[in-house]
């Protein structure tokens, strides 16, 4: 026999903590092994416990891994492995080989996304020699932030027709609004 499966029944214990927004988020998890352990061969048939080294049940909050590739067809093809970690109610991105001034190599997460004081924002450490992050506020990317005509509520492309700080899709809507004042 070259391979077997060990199936341990037990409990998953997750710890939740309040984040800066007062919301409970999972910050740690562990597996508590029970007494019920079964061994199976590759065909799924029960077998006697083979002699094997003990492996602890580590359950760290693991990052998902993706690969990004050069997008310009005229450039030399290249790719970078990227880890994405969801922890404490934030999401952090770590392209392989990129980091932060105040983190050891392989331990920096130079791009983050979070909610701060009700606003969605990106946190970008764009320079390994600088401690401070650039903050990019994303509230204007909200779908509800699309420009709409103040009279007919239709979506509009430009804000060229304005009156008293209100936007209109056409002169007709502006006139109708003015007439109703
Ligand atoms: Zn309109």
Read off the pLDDT of residues 62-78 as tens digits, 9 standing for 90 and up: 678 899 999 999 999 99
The total of other beta-carbon atoms located within 10 Å of residue 150's CB is 19
Entry pTM: 0.59
Q: Are 28 and 14 in contact (CB under 8 A)?
A: yes
Minimal CA–CA distance to 9: which of 36, 41, 46, 48? 36
User: How do the domains of the chain map onto residue ranges?
Assistant: 5-47, 64-141, 146-180
**Size of the chain in residues:** 181
Q: How far is CA 105 from the centre of its chain?
A: 21
Average pLDDT of the residues in 20-45: 85
Separation of CA 153 and ligand 1 centre (Å)? 6
Query: Which residues have beta carbons under 5 A from ligand 1 (an ion)?
Result: 149, 151-152, 169, 173
Q: Rounded distance, CA 125 to CA 80, Å?
A: 18
């Amino acid at each position: 026999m070259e391979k077997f499966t060990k199936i341990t029944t037990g409990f998953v214990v997750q710890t939740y903590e309040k984040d800066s927004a007062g919301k409970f988020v999972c910050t740690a998890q562990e597996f508590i092994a029970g007494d019920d352990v079964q061994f199976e061969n590759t065909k799924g048939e029960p077998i006697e416990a083979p002699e094997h080294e003990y492996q602890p049940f580590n359950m760290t909050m693991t990052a998902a891994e993706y690969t990004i590739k050069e997008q310009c067809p005229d450039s030399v093809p290249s790719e970078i492995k990227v880890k994405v970690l969801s922890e404490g109610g934030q999401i952090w991105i770590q392209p392989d080989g990129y980091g932060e001034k105040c983190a050891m190599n392989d331990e920096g997460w130079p791009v983050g996304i979070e909610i701060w004081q009700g606003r969605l924002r990106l946190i970008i450490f764009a320079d390994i020699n600088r401690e401070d992050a650039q903050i990019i506020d994303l509230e204007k990317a909200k779908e509800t932030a699309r420009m709409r005509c103040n009279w007919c509520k239709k979506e509009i492309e430009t804000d060229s027709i304005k009156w008293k700080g209100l936007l209109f899709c056409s002169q007709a809507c502006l006139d109708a609004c003015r007439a109703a004042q």
